[in-house]
Amino acid sequence: MIIKLKMVRVYLAITIDTEPDCSVSWRRSNPLTFHSVLMGIPQRLQPLFVDFEAKPTYLISQEVLENWECIEVLNSLEGDYELGTHLHGEYVEPEKRYYNYAGTKAVDFACFDYNKDLEMAKLLNLTNIFKERMGTGPVSYRAGRFGADEETIQILEKLGYLIDSSVTPHISWKNKGGPDFTHCPEQPYHPDVKNICRPGNSKIVEVPVSIGRKKFFLLPSFWFFYSWLRPSVNSTKGMIDLIEYFIEKYHNSKSIVLNMVFHSMEVIPKASPYTRTDKDVDRFISKLRDVLDYCNKNGVVFTELKDIRSVI
């Protein structure tokens, strides 16, 4: 079914957690490599985005920011794109856990595993290295493992950020030691500085990941059983159905924002649990291309995260 957009404008942000290559068990590659950044992004992802005039946002982790080859590549991509930050606190001072990153695994939820002062210090250091390496300050952020809460929002305000994209509506990470986003809004909002799931008066705009209903009602409430705008865990049809569900649900709104999410490592084989072979990567790219093509043909506007402030 083709949705004909009339009064409401629909926007698609493509947000990519940009990290070192991993293993199929999510451990950092050993030895540490950055093939997904050095080759996957410039050779596979960005040319595809340029073809559709899409505007991705690459949210960059500390390990990538420490690698000058990655900096050179990310600063010289073709087309329109945004660079932001992505905190995995194990790799950031103070109280940095790992100095040799190879073979390590990021497991912390910054909002719960660190007190507010420590989360602030780590985010400050991540922001400063971004400024040093990129020549400008970041305004968009996503917490590693979606580990953000209202204190994170307060910290981001102080550091000059404009956008957070850590909320996963319908999903609780409590059983893993993380936040509960079960009742958070699906569309962008200014969160309450005392409750990240409640609209309020923060200067930050929260842009939730686009997640809809469970694929089947009787399935358990596990994150994988919900429909994500995420090529690694959803089919082309599933993602298009989700887009049309959002358009139908919010058709009386001023605007509708869709937020696709995935990792940079998913565009090369054996660097994540999702794409273990070349065929897996080809399927991933094919699904991404099909969704971009659908959006392009149906008047969906591609946008960087930072520009969502002006459309809500």
The answer to whether 147 and 109 are in contact (CB under 8 A) is yes
Tokens of 170: 């319908």
Q: What is the largest CA-CA distance in the chain?
A: 53
Within a domain: 44 = yes
| 279-305 pLDDT tens trace | 999 999 999 999 999 999 999 999 999
Share of the chain above pLDDT 90, in %: 92
pLDDT for res 1: 46
Within a domain: 1 = no
| 60-99 pLDDT tens trace | 999 999 999 999 999 999 999 999 999 999 999 999 999 9
Residue 40 is given by DSSP the state I
Pairing of strands 255-263, 205-206: unpaired
Q: Could you tell me the pLDDT band of residue 242, with boundaries at 50, 70 and 90?
A: very high
Tell me the C-alpha distance between 98 and 28, whole Å. 11
Domain total of the chain: 1
Domain of 249 in residue numbering reads as 9-310
Average pLDDT over residues 13-39: 98
CA nearest 40: which of 260, 312, 288? 288
**Which stretch of 108-122, 202-216, 236-250 has the lowest confidence by average pLDDT?**
202-216
Average pLDDT over residues 114-137: 98
Who has greater pLDDT, 146 or 4?
146
Tell me the C-alpha distance between 29 and 21, whole Å. 6
Tokens of 111: 């909002």
Within a domain: 4 = no
3-state secondary structure of 240: helix
Residue 44 is given by DSSP the state I
Within a domain: 234 = yes
Within a domain: 3 = no
| Average pLDDT taken over every residue of the chain | 95
Helix segments in 148-277, DSSP class H: 150-158, 236-249
Who has greater pLDDT, 1 or 116?
116
Tell me the C-alpha distance between 50 and 169, whole Å. 30
For residue 196, give the CATH number of its domain. Answer: 3.20.20.510
Residue 236 has pLDDT above 90, yes or no: yes
pLDDT for res 247: 96
CA nearest 195: which of 146, 149, 161, 162? 149
Q: Could you tell me the pLDDT band of residue 235, with boundaries at 50, 70 and 90?
A: very high
Residue 2 has pLDDT above 60, yes or no: no
Other Cβ atoms within 10 Å of 307 Cβ, number: 18
pLDDT for res 216: 52
Tell me the C-alpha distance between 1 and 189, whole Å. 29
Match 């950020």 to its residue by tokens.
Answer: 161
Tell me the C-alpha distance between 129 and 85, whole Å. 10
pLDDT for res 126: 99
Within a domain: 294 = yes
Pairing of strands 140-143, 82-87: parallel
What type of residue is 273?
P
Tell me the C-alpha distance between 171 and 210, whole Å. 11
Tell me the C-alpha distance between 173 and 155, whole Å. 21
3-state secondary structure of 239: helix
Query: The pTM is what?
Result: 0.96
220 preceded by a cis bond (ω within 30 of 0): no
Q: Could you tell me the pLDDT band of residue 224, with boundaries at 50, 70 and 90?
A: low
pLDDT for res 225: 72
* Residue 190, CA atoms < 13 Å, CB-side half-sphere: 11
pLDDT for res 222: 56
Average pLDDT over residues 86-115: 98
Q: Which residues pair with 22 in a beta bridge?
A: 28
Q: CB neighbours of 143 closer than 8 A, spacing ≥ 6?
A: 86, 87, 109, 110, 111, 152, 164, 166
Tell me the C-alpha distance between 128 and 141, whole Å. 14
Q: Could you tell me the pLDDT band of residue 218, with boundaries at 50, 70 and 90?
A: very low
| 126-136 pLDDT tens trace | 999 999 999 99
Within a domain: 158 = yes
**Ramachandran bin of 173, using left for φ above 0, alpha for ψ from -120 to 50, beta for the remaining angles:** alpha
Within a domain: 2 = no
Q: Could you tell me the pLDDT band of residue 141, with boundaries at 50, 70 and 90?
A: very high
pLDDT for res 193: 95
